[in-house]
Structure 1
Amino acid sequence: MVLLFAQNSLSISGSVKDSIGNPIASASVAVVNQNGAGITFSTTNDKGLFKCDFQSSNENYFIKVTAIGFQLFSKTIEQKHGQHLSVMLKQTSYKLAEVTIKSNNKISLSSDTLKYSVKGFQESNDRVIGDVINRLPGIKVDENGAISYNGKRITNVYIDGDNLLDGRYKMATNNVPVGAVEQVQVIERDQPIKALNGYVSSNNVSLNIKLTDSARTMMVNSGYVGAGNKAYTGELNNLIFDKKIKAINTFKANNIGENLEAEQASLGQTFNNEISLKMPQTFLSMESENLPNMKEKYYLLNNDNSGSLNALVKLKADWGLRLNLSTLQLKRKYQYNNAVNYFLGNADTIRFNETQDNVYKLNQWHAEAQLEKNSKSIYLKNITKFEIPKWNRNGNTIQNEKGFGQSQPTNQLSISNETSVVKALGVNNILQYNGLVQYYKVEENLNITPGIQKGIVNNGIDYLSLNQQASTKNLFVNQSATFKTKFNRFVLSAAAGISYEQNQLLSNLYKTDSTNNTVLVGNQFKNDVIFDQLGLYAKISALYLLEKGSINVEASPTFSNINYTDSDRGSSNKNNYFLLNPIIEFKKILGKYSELNGRFAQQTQFGQVNDIYNGGILVNYRQFNVNNRPLPKTDITNFNVRYAYRKPIKMLFYNFIFSYDKTRQNFINSFTIDSGLTESIAIDFQNKTHQYSLSGNISKYVFPLELNFSANGSLRMQKGNSFYNEEITPFKTYQMSTGFSLRKKLLSKITISIVGDLSKSINKQESLSGIITNETANEKIKGEWLQNLSEEISYSVSYNFVSYRQSLHQPVRNQFLDLNLKFAPTHWKSFFEFQCINLMDQQNYQQINSTANQLSVYQMPLRPRTFLIKYFFTL
C-alpha cells in the first residue's frame, strides 16, 4: 500500500517571472482538478520560486498562477513526478486604473474563493463582522440572520477554516469583532471532506472568516452594559482564536426586544447530507403564534438570558475535538386581538373575535460533542447531541366575549448520535459509512379553566376545567454503507442501508365537573397508537465530470414496510411500498463568470403518527383534530433551473431561478367552521397541488458613485383544493414581490441607505356561489442616515415604514424612527452609545392577513419609546 501511494505522489516546482525576467514574489500558485476544485496551494518566495506536492489520481490537473497586476496563467500539467515549470506572467493594463485599484482593495478572486476585504467595506459604526457581511455585494442576510450568496443559501461559516459552530453560525457573525477580521471569503463548491475530493461534485457555498494576525495571538474579552427607562441590556464575550484552540463564549441578557433564541438557531445544514435528524412533533398550542411582519425590537416584550460555551481543540494527526454548550432562559409576553372572517360559498360569512394575554417561559439546555479526523486517506466524524427544552405557557383568553384561562406546560428530551466514516481504498476507490441513532420524547398538557366547548364534551352543561394530554416517543435508526469508484471522468457509487422508525402516541382528554370530579371525556377522545416504519434501501448513482461541470444520475430504490396499531379501537394496518426516487442533476460552468444548474427529483413521503390517529385531540381552545383516512402518502416532483453570473472585478452579481413543484396526496383536510369552533378531519381524497415560481436578484457596486445597489424579484403561482364546510373548492394564489437596497456615500463622512420591499398577493377561490377574490399589498421601506461629526462623535437616524393594503379596506400604516449617538474618545478601547428606539412612540400595530377564503385583522401593542445609554468595553 505504501508503494502504491508513493507512485502517485507528484511534485511540481518552478519559477515565476515577468516579461523582462524579474522574479515575481507572493504570486499565488494553485493546482486544481478538472472540476475546478483546489488540490494544493502555494506562493512564490522573494526569488519567484515555488513548489507544490500532492497525491494524484486518474484525472486531469491544471496549474494556475495569479499575481496582482498580471494576467492569469493556466496550463495543463502532466502526471510526471519532479516537473519544473518556468512561468512568465504578462502585465495587465486597464483604461480605468483607479477603478481597478479600488476593486483589488475591496474584492479579489482566487480559484473558487471570492475574497472581500473587510477594510474596503467597513464603516465607523460597525461593531461585529455581521454588520459588514450584510453590506457585501452579492451577499444577502435575511431578518433571521441566514446568509445567502448570489441567491444560494450558505451551508457553513468557518473561522479561519475551522467549523466551530456548525449550523449555529449567527453566534459568530453576531460576536466576532469587526477589527479581528481581515477578509470574508466565499467558498464556492465547498467540499470540506478531503477524502471525498474527486468523488463528489459539490454545489455548496460556505463563508470563511479570515482573522487578522493580531487576533490569532491574543484572547479578546469584550462586552457592553446598558440601561434606560425600564430597560436593560448587557453581554460579555470571551474569544480565543489560537491555531490549536478556538473558542467563542458568550453571556447575554436584555429586555429590549433582542431575541436571543434566534441567535442560537441552526441556520446551516447538518454535516452529514446522507441522513438528517427528525424534528420533534408537537400537537397542542394556545393559538398565539401569529407574529407581526416587522423587526422584533418594536414588539417583543421579553426578558432573555443566554449563555454559550463553544470550543474547538485541534489535536495531532488531523484530529479535532469540538464542544458546544448553551442555555436559554426566556420570558415572553404576548398580547393581541384577532378578528377572523371566513368567506364560504355555501354559508354566510363566519366571524369570530379573540383576545389573548399570555406569558411564555423557556428553560432550555443544549450540549453537543464532536470528534473529527479529516485527512486525505480517512475521514471520521462522530457527533452526539443532547437537548432539553422546557416550555411553560400561561395566559387569559377571550373568545366571542367568553373568557377563560389557559396553561400549557411542555417537556421535551432529545438525544442523538451521528457517525460518518470515509476510507480510501487504494487510489480510485473509497468506502463510506453513515449511521444515525436518535431518540426523543415530548410530554404536553393543555389546561383550560373554566371548561369550554360544553356542547361537545359535557352535554351542554357548564363544568370547571378541561385538560388535554398528549405524550409522544420516537426512536429513529439509520445505517448505510457506500462504495465509490472512479475511472476516467466517471464516478460510480452504490449504497445499501436500513432504517427503522417507531412513533408512539398516547393522548387523553379529561374534564373536571362542577363537583370537582375528574373523568375521561370519552373513548372518542383517546389515542394509543404505535407506528413502525422499516425501510430497506439502496442508492445507485453515476457522476460524469465534465471539463467544467458535472452530470449526476441517481436512483434510490426503497422497500418500505409501515405498520400501525390503535389499541383503543383494536385496529391494525399494514402497508408495503416500493419506490425509486430518481434524481438528475446538471451543472456547467459557462466561461469565466457564469454557471448553470438544473435538477429534477421525485420523492415520496409518508405520514407518521401525528397523521393517522383516529381519536379526537383538542389541539387548541377552538379546534379539534381527527383523522379518517388511509396512510398519508405525498408524491413530490420538483424541477428547477438556476443561472448565476458573477464578475468580482466589476462587483457584479446576478442570478435567475425557475422552479416547478407538483404535489399529489391521497388525503385532504376537511374543516368544519362555525363562530366558536373548528373541527378538522383528514379524509381520503386524491389531492393535487401545482406551484410555479420565478425569482432573481442582482447586486452591483458602482465605483465612480461609491454606490452599493441590489434588487430582487419573484413571481409565484399555486393552485390546488381546499375543503371547508363540506364543499371542495379549487383555489389559485398569485404572489408577486420585489425589493431593492441602495447604500451611498454622499461625502467622506456621510452615508445614506434605503431598503424597500413590495409584495402583492391575489387569492381566488371557486365556489358554488361564484368566485371569491382577496387582494393584499405589503410595503416596507427603511431609510438610514449615518454621519461622522468628528473622529469621536457620530450619529445615525433610521426611519421604518410598514403599510398593508387589503381590497375594500383602508390602508394600515406604521412608522418608526430610531436614533443612535456614538461617542468614542480617542485612544480609548471603549465607547458610549445613546439609543432611542421608537422615537415617535408608536403604540399599536395592525396587520391584515388574507388567503383565498379567510381575512383576519391582527392587532397588538408595541413596545413603548425606549431610551438606552450603553457602554462598550474591551478587556
Structure 2
Amino acid sequence: MKKLVLFSVFVFCCTLSIFAQSHSIMGTVVDSSTLEPITGVNVIVRHCTDNGIIAYTTTADNGTFSLQINHDNLADYTLQVTCLGYEQQTLNLTDNNYLIKLKEKSFELQEVSIKADKIIQNKDTTSYFVTNFATTKDRTIGDVLTNMPGINIAENGKISYNGSPINKFYVEGIDLFDGKYNLATNNISYENIARVEVIENHQAIKALQGTGVDTETAINLKLKDSAKSVWNGNFLGKGGFTHDEGLWETELFAARFSSKSQSATTLKSNNTGKNIADEGNSLTIDDLLYMYPGSEISGSLTSAPSISTNLSNDRTRFNRTHMFSNSSMWKLSESGQIKSQIIYTDDKNTYDQSIESAYYLMDNLLVKGTQETSSVKDKGLQASVVATIDKDSYFLSDELSFKSKWRTFTSEINGDFNYHSIADITTYNVENRLKYVKKTGNNIFQIMSLNKYEFIPEDLYVGGESVKQQKIDKGNFFSNTNFRFLHNIKRWSLGTNMDLFGNIYNFNSLYNDASINYQNDLNVNYIGARLNPEIIYQNEHLKLNLKFPLSVYHFSGEQSATKIYVKPDIYLKWKFLPRWTLFVNATIGNSYTGNGLYYTAPVMTDYRAMYAGFLNYDGKIEKRIGGRISYANPSDMLFANLSATYSDENTKRSISKQVDNGYVYYLYEPGNDKYKLLFADGSISKGIELINGSIELSSSFQNHNMPLEQNGYISTIDFGSINSGITLKSNPCDWFNIDYKIGHKYNYMKSEALKSVTQHLTQKCLLVFYPIEDISIKLNGEHYLSFFDSGQKKNTFLVDLEFVYRYKQFDFLASVTNLFNQNVYSYTIYGDLSSTTTQYNIRGRNVTIGVNWYF
C-alpha cells in the first residue's frame, strides 16, 4: 500500500513540473462571393509530419472559430478548412487570427465517402440525410432513426451508434433536453430535419476540445432553414372505444429553435396504452459523473407488479396518463446560457395477472399460484435550472434540480394466498451540481461538486389471512468535491484527481404483525478522500487511459471503521485499421458498494417476502474485463460491432434463502460468495440499395453464475438467456413498404440437480400500402410462440389495422388494434432457484379515429 501511495504522489508531482507554450487560433470563415459567414465549417489543425489531428472545431453561426493548441512551434502545423459545397483550403500556421474565404464548388468530396447521397462521413462526423431514409409511414425523427443503418434504438428509447451509447443529444448544437431526448425523438417531425449528425470523439466543453479528454458519442439534429426561428409542432386528437370504456388520446407539441433561444413544450394525455410518462427519463450517462458509492438510495418495498414479456408496453398497459413538459434555453451572450426544464406526470395503471411461482427445493418442487389484481398510481415532478458559461479558456456550470415521485401500489391477491395490500412510496430529491474547468497553456484544472439530499418514506399494509404492517424512513445526505489537474505534453496527459466526500445515512423501520415486531434504527456516516492519478496517451489512432484510484473511508455511527480501497482501471481505444476500432476496458480491486442491506432486523418488502442484512464496510472485490470491436463503412452503409464483458465479484457476503410454504425469507451474512457474469452481444446492419432498405442481424448472450443456500441446501446456479433476431426494412416501390422482424429467446436456469428452459419465438410484420399518393393502409401482424418447460406451447396472434388520409397539413386517422381481440399472454422468467410464469391480460380490441395537425 505504501508503494501505491508513493506512486500516486510521484505522478502528481511530475504533472506539476512540466510545462509548454499554448497558442490560441481564431478566425472567421466567409463565402468568397457574398462575404456572408458560413456556419458549421470544419476547422482542423494537423501536424505537418504525420498529418495527425491536433485540434478540431466548427464555426459558429457568425462564421467564427477559436481553438487552442499546446505546442511551441506553429510552423510544424497546418490549418485545414473544409465544408460541403466549398473547396477545401489548407494554410500554414503563421499567425493567430485568420479571415478565410471559401470558394463554392460542385458537390464533390475527396476525403468523404458517398453512397447515393445517403450518408457522408467526414472524419469523426457521420451525416445521415433524413429524406433518404424517411418513408411515408414515418412521422417523427425517432421513426426515421430506426431506418438508419448503424443506429439502434432500444425499447426505452435509448440510442446507440454501432454499439456506442449516445451521451449527448443536440438540436442545432444545443443540448436542450438534458439527456431526456425521448422528448425530441418522439415529438419532433422528421420533415423539419435536414440531416442527423453522429459525432464520435466529441467533447462538449470548448476548453477541453482538441485535448482528447473525456470524449463521447453525440447526435446533432441539423434543421432545415424553413424550420429555424419559427414555431412548429403538431396537435393530435383521437377518440374511440373498447368493449367496456371510451378511449381518448391527445397530444400537443410546440417547439421553436433559434440561435438565441430554444423552447419545446409537450402536453399529452391518453388511456390507449401509450407510454408517455417515460419520456421524462434520462437516457445518457452524464449522471454517472456525479454518482458515487452512497450517493444514491432507493426504496425497499416492491412498488409495482413485475412485467417482463416480449410484448411492447402498449399491449399490457391499462392506463390513464397525463404528461406536461417544458424545456427552454436562453443565450445570454456568445458563451453564456441558461436552461430550465420542468416535467410533470400523472400515470395510473391497472394489472390483472395469473402468477405461478415455482421453488426448486432439494427434495421437491413447490408451486404456488395466485390471481393478482393491482393498480399503480404515480405522480412525478422534475424541475431544474442550469446556468453555463462556455469559453475557450474556461467552463462554468451550476445546476439546481428537484425531483419527487409519489406512488401508491394496491393489490388484491387470491389463490394459494389471500391478501390485500397497499404500499405508499414517496421520493424527494434535491441536488446541486457545480462544474468548473480552467485551461491555462498546457494545464487543465477542474472542480466538480455534488451536494444531494434524498428522503424516502414508505408504508406497506397487508391484510387478509393476517394483518402485517411495515414502515420505513430513509434519509441520505451526500457531498463530494472533486479536484482534477491535467498537464499535456504533446501526446501525453499526466494528472491526478482528488475527491473529498462525506455521507450521512439514516434508516428507520418498524414491522409488526399479531405476534412479533422488528425494528431498525440505523445511522451510518462516513467521510473520506480519494486520490486517483491518471495517465493518458493518444494519437490519431490510439487512446490509452490508466487510472489508479486509492480511497480512504472512515465510518462512524453504528460501527466505527477505517477502510482503504484500491481499484486500478485501464481503457484502450485503438483504430487499428481505417474502418476498424477496438475498445478494451479492465479493472481489478476492491470498492465500497454503498449503503445497501445494512439493516439487521427483518424488513417486509411485499406480502410474502422479508429481508435482513448486516453492516458491511468491506465492499466487494471485483475483476472485470470488457471489449468491443466495431466496423463502420458509411459509404457502403455497412456497420458491425461485437462486444463481450466478463466480471467476477466477491461481495464479502453470502445469501441464505428460506422458503416456507411459499413465504420467502432472505438473510445476508458475512461470507465470500462469488458472482460471475458473462455477457456478449453483436449486430450487423447493412443498407441495401436493391430493396431500398436495410437488414440487421443481432444476437446476445448473458449468463449469471451465483451460489445460493436455499432451505439449508447449498448449490451453484446458472441462469440467463440467448437472443437472436433479424430485422428487414424495405421500401421497394412507391406504393408498398415492409418492416419485418423475427426473434428467438432462450431462457434457462440450471444447477447441479435441475435444469429448466423456456423458449419464445417472436415475429412482427408491418405492411404499408399506398393505393393513391395521400392514402396509406397499415397492416401490422405479430406472432408469439412460447414453449414452456412442461412441454406446453402457446400461440398468440395480434393484428392491427390503420388508415391514414393526408390532406395538406392534416392526417385523418382511423385504426383498430388487436383486431382478433386476443386477451392473454404468458411469459416465464428465472431467478434464484425459482421461476415465475405470469399470464398477463393484454389490451383487447381498440377502435379509434382522429386527426393530427402539423404546423
The TM-score with structure 1 as length reference comes to 0.87
Does residue 752 of the first structure (1) align with residue 769 of the second (2)? Answer: no
1:735 equivalent among 709, 716, 721: 721
Query: Relative to structure 1, is the Cα distance of residues 534 and 324 closer, same or farther in structure 2, using a 3 angstrom cutoff?
Result: same
Q: Secondary structure at the match of 1:835?
A: strand
In 2, distance between residues paired with 1:27 and 1:415? 38
Query: Relative to structure 1, is the Cα distance of residues 353 and 315 closer, same or farther in structure 2, using a 3 angstrom cutoff?
Result: same
Indicate conservation of the 8 Å contact 1:260/1:304, yes or no. yes
2:376 maps to: 360
* Deviation, structure 1 residue 580: 2.2
1:450 equivalent among 441, 461, 464: 464
Match runs of 1:684-723 below 5 Å = 684-723=670-709
1:485 maps to: 487
Match runs of 1:785-796 below 5 Å = 785-796=767-778
2:796 equivalent among 776, 797, 814: 814
User: Bigger CA drift: 153-162 or 75-84?
Assistant: 75-84
- Partner AA of 1:373 in structure 2: I
In 2, distance between residues paired with 1:89 and 1:264? 43
- Partner AA of 1:293 in structure 2: N
Match runs of 1:606-621 below 5 Å = 606-621=592-607
Does residue 663 of the first structure (1) align with residue 649 of the second (2)? Answer: yes
- Partner AA of 1:132 in structure 2: V
In 1, distance between residues paired with 2:159 and 2:233? 26
Does residue 395 of the first structure (1) align with residue 397 of the second (2)? Answer: no
Per-residue CA deviations over 1:298-349 (Å, capped at 9, x if unaligned) read: 110000001111101111141110010111111110111111111222x321
1:557 maps to: 550
2:402 maps to: 386
Match runs of 1:455-470 below 5 Å = 465-470=467-472
2:353 equivalent among 294, 313, 336: 336
- Partner AA of 1:250 in structure 2: T
* Deviation, structure 1 residue 758: 1.4
Query: Relative to structure 1, is the Cα distance of residues 171 and 42 closer, same or farther in structure 2, using a 3 angstrom cutoff?
Result: closer
1:305 maps to: 322
1:406 maps to: 421
In 2, distance between residues paired with 1:560 and 1:492? 26
Match runs of 1:161-240 below 5 Å = 161-229=173-241, 230-240=246-256
2:16 maps to: none
Q: Secondary structure at the match of 2:597?
A: helix
In 2, distance between residues paired with 1:703 and 1:344? 57
Question: Across the two proteins, how many residue pairs are aligned to each other?
Answer: 817
1:435 maps to: 449
Query: Relative to structure 1, is the Cα distance of residues 61 and 599 closer, same or farther in structure 2, using a 3 angstrom cutoff?
Result: farther
In 1, distance between residues paired with 2:382 and 2:561? 37
User: Bigger CA drift: 390-399 or 280-289?
Assistant: 280-289
Query: Relative to structure 1, is the Cα distance of residues 51 and 203 closer, same or farther in structure 2, using a 3 angstrom cutoff?
Result: closer
Indicate conservation of the 8 Å contact 1:635/1:664, yes or no. yes
2:534 maps to: 541
2:561 maps to: 575
1:139 maps to: 151
Per-residue CA deviations over 1:694-721 (Å, capped at 9, x if unaligned) read: 3221111112332311111223344331
In 1, distance between residues paired with 2:192 and 2:44? 30
In 1, distance between residues paired with 2:832 and 2:57? 57
Query: Relative to structure 1, is the Cα distance of residues 403 and 275 closer, same or farther in structure 2, using a 3 angstrom cutoff?
Result: closer
Indicate conservation of the 8 Å contact 1:168/1:265, yes or no. yes
In 1, distance between residues paired with 2:269 and 2:27? 55
Indicate conservation of the 8 Å contact 1:667/1:686, yes or no. yes
Q: Secondary structure at the match of 2:183?
A: helix
In 2, distance between residues paired with 1:203 and 1:645? 19
Q: Secondary structure at the match of 1:109?
A: strand
Does residue 531 of the first structure (1) align with residue 545 of the second (2)? Answer: no
In 2, distance between residues paired with 1:608 and 1:83? 53
* Deviation, structure 1 residue 791: 1.8
- Partner AA of 2:446 in structure 1: Q
Indicate conservation of the 8 Å contact 2:799/2:820, yes or no. yes
The TM-score with structure 2 as length reference comes to 0.89
1:148 equivalent among 144, 151, 160: 160
* Deviation, structure 1 residue 857: 2.0
In 2, distance between residues paired with 1:600 and 1:82? 44
Q: Secondary structure at the match of 1:273?
A: helix
Identity of aligned residues (%): 20
Q: Secondary structure at the match of 1:410?
A: strand
- Partner AA of 1:306 in structure 2: M
- Partner AA of 2:633 in structure 1: K
Match runs of 1:852-863 below 5 Å = 853-863=833-843
Indicate conservation of the 8 Å contact 1:640/1:658, yes or no. yes
1:248 maps to: 264
Indicate conservation of the 8 Å contact 2:81/2:90, yes or no. no
Q: Secondary structure at the match of 1:195?
A: helix
Indicate conservation of the 8 Å contact 1:436/1:478, yes or no. yes
- Partner AA of 1:392 in structure 2: T
* Deviation, structure 1 residue 190: 1.4
Does residue 111 of the first structure (1) align with residue 128 of the second (2)? Answer: no
Query: Relative to structure 1, is the Cα distance of residues 791 and 498 closer, same or farther in structure 2, using a 3 angstrom cutoff?
Result: same
2:825 maps to: 845
In 2, distance between residues paired with 1:131 and 1:669? 45
* Deviation, structure 1 residue 781: 1.4
Query: Relative to structure 1, is the Cα distance of residues 405 and 14 closer, same or farther in structure 2, using a 3 angstrom cutoff?
Result: closer
Indicate conservation of the 8 Å contact 1:773/1:852, yes or no. no
* Deviation, structure 1 residue 399: 4.5
Does residue 635 of the first structure (1) align with residue 621 of the second (2)? Answer: yes
Per-residue CA deviations over 1:360-417 (Å, capped at 9, x if unaligned) read: 11121110001111111110111111012111222311241x4222111222211000
Per-residue CA deviations over 1:432-474 (Å, capped at 9, x if unaligned) read: 100000001011110112353xxxxxxxxxxxx3221000000
2:23 maps to: 8
Query: Relative to structure 1, is the Cα distance of residues 600 and 790 closer, same or farther in structure 2, using a 3 angstrom cutoff?
Result: same
Does residue 262 of the first structure (1) align with residue 278 of the second (2)? Answer: yes
Indicate conservation of the 8 Å contact 2:502/2:526, yes or no. yes
Indicate conservation of the 8 Å contact 1:612/1:631, yes or no. no
> Alpha carbon RMSD of aligned pairs, Å?
3.2
Does residue 832 of the first structure (1) align with residue 812 of the second (2)? Answer: yes
Indicate conservation of the 8 Å contact 1:774/1:851, yes or no. no
- Partner AA of 1:574 in structure 2: S
1:674 equivalent among 653, 656, 660: 660
* Deviation, structure 1 residue 556: 1.1
Q: Secondary structure at the match of 2:498?
A: strand
In 1, distance between residues paired with 2:226 and 2:732? 33
In 2, distance between residues paired with 1:185 and 1:251? 28
In 1, distance between residues paired with 2:360 and 2:726? 35
Does residue 779 of the first structure (1) align with residue 793 of the second (2)? Answer: no
Per-residue CA deviations over 1:411-434 (Å, capped at 9, x if unaligned) read: 221100000000122x11121100
- Partner AA of 1:288 in structure 2: P
Q: Secondary structure at the match of 2:586?
A: strand
Query: Relative to structure 1, is the Cα distance of residues 467 and 92 closer, same or farther in structure 2, using a 3 angstrom cutoff?
Result: closer
- Partner AA of 1:835 in structure 2: S
Query: Relative to structure 1, is the Cα distance of residues 62 and 635 closer, same or farther in structure 2, using a 3 angstrom cutoff?
Result: farther
Query: Relative to structure 1, is the Cα distance of residues 62 and 204 closer, same or farther in structure 2, using a 3 angstrom cutoff?
Result: farther
Indicate conservation of the 8 Å contact 1:121/1:135, yes or no. yes
Q: Secondary structure at the match of 1:704?
A: helix
- Partner AA of 2:834 in structure 1: Q
* Deviation, structure 1 residue 599: 1.2
2:496 maps to: 494
- Partner AA of 2:772 in structure 1: S
